[in-house]
Amino acid sequence: QVQLVESGGGSVPSGGSLKLSCAASGYTYSRFCMGWFRQAPGKEREGVAAIDSDGNFDYADSVKGRFTISQENSKSTVFLQMNTLKPEDTAMYYCAFEPHPAVCTAQYSTFHYASHRGQGTQVTVSS
């Protein structure tokens, strides 16, 4: 059973930075997609960033140039470095993991059908 443990959320002022981590364990898949989606109160879920086991990545237009997704050498942990944060980035951020994905993009459909999701970590950006 795949387990995802997220960390790194918090509260920062506008323009600040945070780094989220998602550690995956309990899997043996060689190909997978990992990424982040978010949900703000009263809003629909939005894909943020995704990276596959080959290191290919994708970002939502709303975060391009500000967020960077990466993975450690073992590929079991994915990071989301968030810079120049804006109040509209305030949301619960969730990590997702999908083995043998047909596609791995930042579109929410990638995460909607993901087999495994984390519990979420709150990111709050004050103006």
Mean pLDDT of 37-49: 96
State the pLDDT at residue 73. Answer: 77
Instruction: Count CB atoms within 10 A of the CB of residue 51.
Output: 24
Q: Is the pLDDT of residue 113 over 90?
A: no
Mean pLDDT of 42-71: 96
Mean pLDDT of 12-35: 94
State the pLDDT at residue 7. Answer: 95
**E-state strands within 8-120:** 10-13, 18-25, 32-39, 46-52, 57-59, 67-71, 77-82, 91-99, 116-117
Mean pLDDT of 64-87: 94
Query: pLDDT above 90 covers what percent of the chain?
Result: 82
Q: Is the pLDDT of residue 13 over 90?
A: yes
